Chain A
Amino acid sequence: MTSDADRVADLARRVVAEHDPNTVPLPEYLAACYDAGLSWVQFPEGMGGLGVSRGLQAVADRILQGAGGPVPLGLNPMGYGMAAPTIREHAQDDVLKKSWLRPLATTEHIWCQLFSEPGAGSDLAGLATTAVADGAEWVVNGQKVWTSLAHRARWGLLLARTNPDVPKHKGLTYFVIDMHGPGVEARPLRQMTGQAEFNEVYFTDARIPDAHRLGGVGDGWRVAMTTLMNERSALGGSGNRRGAGPIADAVGLWAARPDLRTPVLRDRLTQLWLRAEAQRLTSERSRATVGVGGPGPEGSIGKMVGAELNQQMYEWCMDFLGPEGILYHTYNPAEDADWRGPIQQRFLRSRANTIEGGTSEVMRNILGERVLGLPGDLRADTMAWKEIPRG
């Protein structure tokens, strides 16, 4: 264990010594990280990893980011957080895996996730976008929604229905689709903050080679679970020092504006601070005890608590600001405006936190059923997918 940690640390120090992230172009630096096996240390050698414990990623990240390296998850979130583990586990051969992983790691290829549909949100497995086999290709038709970065993405993770005659979970297949190919159209979707972080994506006879299928035909749900577990873990599991993260906005506001303080708001903020700290310690504990395996359903705790806390913190900020809080900067931001806008924008944006990446209600079902082992709800959708009532 210690020797693995030393090896990871040595490699990280060598990367930053030979490819200073402050001076070399970003793709070159990230390629060096990938080639050294520091992109996902638990991955096999030659695929951006070293085959060591996942927990040692923190050792690499401390050194890389301490030397001025960026947080790659922020540059290609769907790529690093979700696509990479799914490709690694399910792509058909090593050549393909490597051809996707390296440009993903360098951020030359941005990735997006094509799961949710207007008719399939929490009930993801009920989705209706179809993929029909045509020789060695698949032909895709349908509509996806809430796809972030679709307009910049080169590749998309697509979950589509390949068999409507079997129960819904069994008729899905997982693909990688070329977002630049014909029949793929992304349109920005304006949200309540005024920004358009997400897109609607329309498929009209878009074609996918069968080699770009991940997992077996009809096995898409199981493959999608790899992606979703990693997503929730990424949403809920980021390491932070005490007081960092969204709570810093609220405490910063408290510190900056003594004139607005009241005892009631002080106690409310303390409750939020304690909850954030307890969750931070829980993430630390989970990170300290994680093995080589992937994230488990416990990651759902972090996702759920983080989402609800984020909303409560910005609600607190708004209550603290009072009449000053009901002003706004612009509902017509530049296309590339940072999502991290003023407090009021973060307040509006936080409404999505308990919906995106699995609603809090779904998270509580996961905690109840997969962690506590409680029985599932009675189902009204066990028949062939095409016979399920929709509307």
Chain B
Amino acid sequence: MAEFVFTDEQVQLRSAVRKFAGEQAGETAARRVMESDPPYDAAVWARLGAELGVLGLSVSEADGGAGGTLVDQAIAVEELGAALTCGPLFGTVYLAIPALVAASGAARAELLGDLVEGRRTAAFAVPDRAGVFDPALVTVAVDGDGALTGTVVRVVDGGAADVLLVAATGPDGLGLYAVDATGPGVTRTALGTLDLTRPQAVVEFAGAPGTLVAGPDEAERVITQALQVGAALLAAEQVGAGQHLLDLAVDYAKTRLQFGRPIGSFQAVKHKLADMLVDLEHARSAAYHSAWALTDGTDDPAVATSIAQAVASAAFSRIARDTIQVLGGIGFTWEHQAHLYFKRASTDAALLGSAEAHRGRVAELVLDTATADRDPWVATGLG
């Protein structure tokens, strides 16, 4: 499968998800659910899993998934992101499912099918430093009987999740555990969030029973894999949402009249939109490159996902800012949808590492290892 070339099936997948999201998600749906508890429509989520089958596109058929690739999943996520689809995509689809797929523990089989089918949802209670796992950040301990104790802050989608995947340190080392979020020993406190469609919670464990997902031999690898897949899928979401905003801003610039002419005929506005287009196309290339890299191994996943996050976070944030500017006063109101996407842009940029954090990683991976294979020609003033 050549990089960047979509199959007919993938084109059909895109249009099916776009159609569904157009009917079931979008601004109106987001406004309806974003201030309720949980802030999503469980019936729509169940349909995404059971009817459309887009929650586990890269999960093998043996594990209850569609047996596709991460590129398929990225396509679906892009379209869901364009419609600001509410639901635990981040916790369940971007992080928990990829972690389970990469793991071999007992909880895997029992959980994967339910998550993929949309019968249960999950959140990823694993601290990261700008999208990279560091065992030193783990704040939960597990005892010899598999009981977890400790607190994890800012767990995205943690408030309503049925299951929490928790990194915990025990006598044998680091493990990833599945904990029933509604079971004994788990206390969740919802947090107010900038983006009402992407909720967070503080989760406290007090002797909560956990089932092993990944033991010390593989936990770190599994968590890293989940964070990299999550970074690629988050980038796809950013591309979808950025495209939605660019379309919105362009339509407005074509129809909004000032000084007796469409504002899009002014070069100051036109050139801003052209720059947004360039950033969006760059983000699309980087996001799909990372999805292909994780699928085919055509690139170092650490490099590819950091490029994707550095480029897509910056692009979506810029497009969201400039969309409000093109819209003018109406774009600052509560009634216009621009702020919903602007808040999503700010949130996505901060999750799994900011553009700056990933840029720093690219600097380490590329510049700090660069070698001079030939000395560049610098004039010395001597003929």
Contacts and interface: CB of A to CB of B under 8 A. Distances in A.
Chain A bound to chain B: yes
Interface of A: 243, 249, 251-256, 266-267, 269-271, 273-275, 277-279, 281-282, 284-285, 288-289, 298, 301, 304-305, 317, 321, 324-325, 327-330, 341-345, 361, 363-365, 367-369, 371-378
Nearest to B266: A377
A239 B362 CA distance: 22
A365 B366 contact: no
A114 B39 CA distance: 63
Interface of B: 2-5, 246, 250, 253-254, 261-262, 264-267, 270-271, 273-275, 277-278, 281-286, 288-289, 307, 310-311, 359-360, 362-363, 366-367, 370-383
Interface centre among A288, A305, A367 (most CB of B within 10 A): A367
Given A361-B267, A378-B261, A284 B3 contact: yes
Contacts of A282: 281-282, 284-285
A320 to B, nearest CB: 10
Given A251-B370, A282-B281, A374-B262, 7 more contacts: A270-B359, A275-B282, A289-B5, A324-B380, A329-B380, A368-B264, A378-B261
Closest 6 CB pairs of A and B: A327-B381, A278-B282, A368-B270, A281-B285, A367-B274, A256-B372
Contacts of A256: 372, 375-376
B375 A274 contact: no
Q: Describe B's contact surface by its main secondary structure.
A: helix
A267 B379 contact: no
Contact of B377 (A324, A341, A373): A341
Nearest to B375: A256
A377 B307 CA distance: 37
A277 B275 CA distance: 17
A270 B362 contact: yes
A266 to B, nearest CB: 6
Given A364-B271, A378-B265, A254 B359 contact: no
A363 B274 CA distance: 9
A285 B283 CA distance: 12
A325 B379 CA distance: 8
A251 B289 contact: no
Contact of A374 (B265, B282, B288, B381): B265
24 contacts: A253-B376, A256-B372, A266-B367, A267-B359, A267-B363, A269-B367, A270-B362, A279-B282, A301-B281, A329-B380, A330-B383, A341-B379, A342-B377, A342-B379, A361-B267, A367-B274, A367-B278, A368-B274, A372-B250, A374-B250, A374-B262, A374-B265, A374-B273, A378-B261
